[in-house]
Chains A and B, each alone.
Chain A
Amino acid sequence: MSHRSFVWLCLLPLAVVTAAFFLLPMARLVVTGAEGPQGAAGYLAILTEPRYRATLINTVALAAATTIVTLIVATIAGMFLQRHRFPGRAVLIAMLTFPLAFPGVVIGFLIILLAGRQGLIGDLSNRVLGEKLVFAYSIYGLFLGYLYFSIPRVILTIMAAVQKLDVGLEEAARSLGASPWAVQRDVVLPALAPAFVASGAIAFATAMGAFGTAFTLATNIDVLPMLIYTEFTLAANFSTSAALSVGLGIITWFILALARSFSGSAVAAAG
């Protein structure tokens, strides 16, 4: 057996698994999406049908907001945690990363405990303002849930990136007269750009596709995964749910590719 055919032979199991569990179902999904009453035009319905379009915009906006706020919170926290040593630091990091193990349902449950009808915030606002503040079942509740979900993932990536940052870069900028703000703007943030793209991509993709939290909070929220679920189980509309699934995948992939190309120069330079 030549070296080359040996390598091909080793790749065979991977090829089989990829074909059986990834390519074939994907292909079937794409085909199903075009089997509705409108045929391939069913895909266009994602954009033309007002309800679908509104849901799509909602979902992207929610995922984008989640990503941006997560990056801001996680960068500040990650930088602080990596650069400072204080008693209780290890416990704090462990607590911050604790939600990593939770499924979306548990996150949704936590949000209900916090901002639901019997929630902590409702109780408190009832006592102070005489009015019960309830937002668990709205898009704000979902946003909070996604934040809770994303921050641990992003914080770990940022901490690792901060650790690798050459302190000499900051000292050099300071020696040239840069104020602490200028050092952050010109040196630290550009150097962290690759970590922002990598961890932001994960946060964005998770927020686009997360289902458990949305399902738990339910009622007033229209996001794509929920829409796919209702079309599939309640309306038994297989072709539309397939088309929406393909659309969700493509849109997420496209936005991630866009983000990567925008930060491409920064990523290459920092590498």
Chain B
Amino acid sequence: MNASAGHGASVRIEACGKTFIDGTRALEPATLDIARGETLVLLGPSGCGKTTMLRIIAGLELPDAGGKVLFDGNDMTSVPIERRNVGMVFQSYALFPNMSVSDNIGYGLKIRGVPAKERAARVAELVALTNIAGLENRRIDQLSGGQRQRVALARAVAIRPGILLLDEPLTALDAALRDRLRGELNRLLRALGITTIYVTHDQAEAMELGDRVVVMQKGTIAQIGTPREIYFTPQSRFVAEFIGAANIIESPIENGYLVLPGGRQAIGIDANFPTVVAMIRPETIRVVETGSAPLSGVIDSISFIGDRQRLVISGVSNRLFTVDAPNTVQAKAGERVGLLISPEAVRLLPSES
């Protein structure tokens, strides 16, 4: 076992699908490689198959016949979870209510027969690492949500797992705490350098934590890429809309211009199509005087967010158009404004459903 190197194992899942007894297809056969030390995020709405994929990797579900799970090239498909040496953090945390915080963290070591002294040292190390000093003798029901999350992480990491698996570890927390713990978790995962697979439905978490993000939809992999690739070059309308905010436009192209109710927008290539699907991110659009832009629309509403303001504009395309403007821009609802969009900011998407 190479866990002491702090980089864990590489993972390969090969043609892993999952059909439940009642016939529901939770996961279409998928193949995926996860490099040693990489943090991979499985992202998607509920029911997209991301948790099923995690549970197959963990050994809590068997893939359908033909599917294989390999750790460091060794076939683990039929090895039960208790012998896979994976650390797992559950959405509910699943901390043992009949044990203290330190007994929870040390449980995996106790099961492995690690002597009490060595165990105590390792527990102390993790208590320091996860910043929960002073809570060692507390019962679980005496902890806050954030503290529980840290204990669950410490318990999973204590056994020096080859792979760390996290199933929506921040979902149960309130928004402010979630943001803070996300940063903390990121630093911790980088420090541990262990192979990590992280399941979430929150794209902000996926962006911040993932070396690579797997966007999933209805049991299939929609796109795999770095957070930047996923954000700037989505390969489908689903990915474009699921990651960040996106204006989706369906319109014809004439001589390299999108023809819209609010004007014409250059796309940077000379082409003609009867109809295309295009995406424009709200922050790539500049609000200007009506006369100085080819596109214009009427401000429907303004939401002041603080660091920026979000304008909803009608009359540009067939649906409402979202624009993120600097917080210094003076604008009023009902006002007609011009919109300046560089041709590179327009991304054409395959015109599927």
> Residues on B close to A: CB < 8 A?
58, 60, 80-83, 85-88, 90-99, 107-108, 111-112, 139-141, 155-156, 159, 165
Nearest Cβ on chain A to B113's Cβ, whole angstroms: 10
Q: Which residue of the partner chain, among A168, A171, A269, contacts B141 with CB atoms under 8 Å?
A: A269
Distance in angstroms from B1 CB to nearest chain A CB is 13
CB-based contact B82/A179 at 8 Å: yes
How many residues of chain A get a CB closer than 8 Å to chain B's CBs? 23
Return A91 CB to nearest CB of chain B, in Å: 22
Which residues of chain A are within 8 angstroms of B98 by Cβ–Cβ distance? Answer: 187, 190-191, 193, 266, 269-270
Inside 8 A of A174's CB, which chain B residues have their CB? Answer: 60, 80-82
> Residue A177 at the B interface, CB < 8 A?
yes
Taking a contact as CB atoms under 8 Å apart, the answer to whether B108 and A176 are in contact is yes
A172 B80 Cβ-Cβ under 8 A: no
Residues of B within 8 A of A179 (CB): 82
Interface centre among B80, B90, B97, B155 (most CB of A within 10 A): B97
CB distance from B237 to the nearest CB of A (A): 35
With A186-B107, A191-B98, A270-B97 given, is the CB distance from A175 to B81 under 8 Å? yes
Establish whether residues A175 and B111, one from each chain, have CB atoms under 8 Å apart when the complex forms.
no
Within 8 Å of chain B (Cβ to Cβ): is A16?
no
A178 touches B141 (CB 8 A): no
A173 at the interface (CB under 8 A from B): yes
Minimum CB distance partner of B165 in chain A: A175
Question: Which residues in A have their C-beta under 8 angstroms from that of B108?
Answer: 176-177
Q: Give Cα A151–Cα B136 distance, bound, in whole angstroms.
A: 40
Chain A residue numbers with a CB within 8 Å of B80 are 174
A178 touches B111 (CB 8 A): yes
- The complex places the Cα of A269 from the Cα of B159 at a distance, in Å, of 25
Within 8 A of B (CB), among A153-181: 166, 168-169, 171-179
Check if B112 sits within 8 Å of A191, measured CB to CB.
Answer: no
Question: Which residues A102-152 have CB closer than 8 A to chain B?
Answer: none
B156, A175: Cβ atoms closer than 8 Å: yes
Besides A168-B92, A168-B94, A176-B108, 15 other CB < 8 A contacts? A169-B96, A171-B60, A171-B81, A172-B88, A172-B94, A172-B95, A175-B87, A175-B165, A176-B82, A176-B159, A179-B82, A187-B98, A193-B98, A269-B139, A269-B140
26 contacts between A and B (CB under 8 A): A169-B94, A169-B96, A171-B88, A172-B94, A172-B155, A173-B96, A173-B107, A174-B60, A174-B80, A174-B81, A174-B82, A175-B156, A176-B82, A176-B107, A176-B159, A177-B82, A177-B108, A177-B111, A178-B82, A178-B111, A186-B107, A190-B96, A190-B97, A191-B97, A193-B98, A269-B139
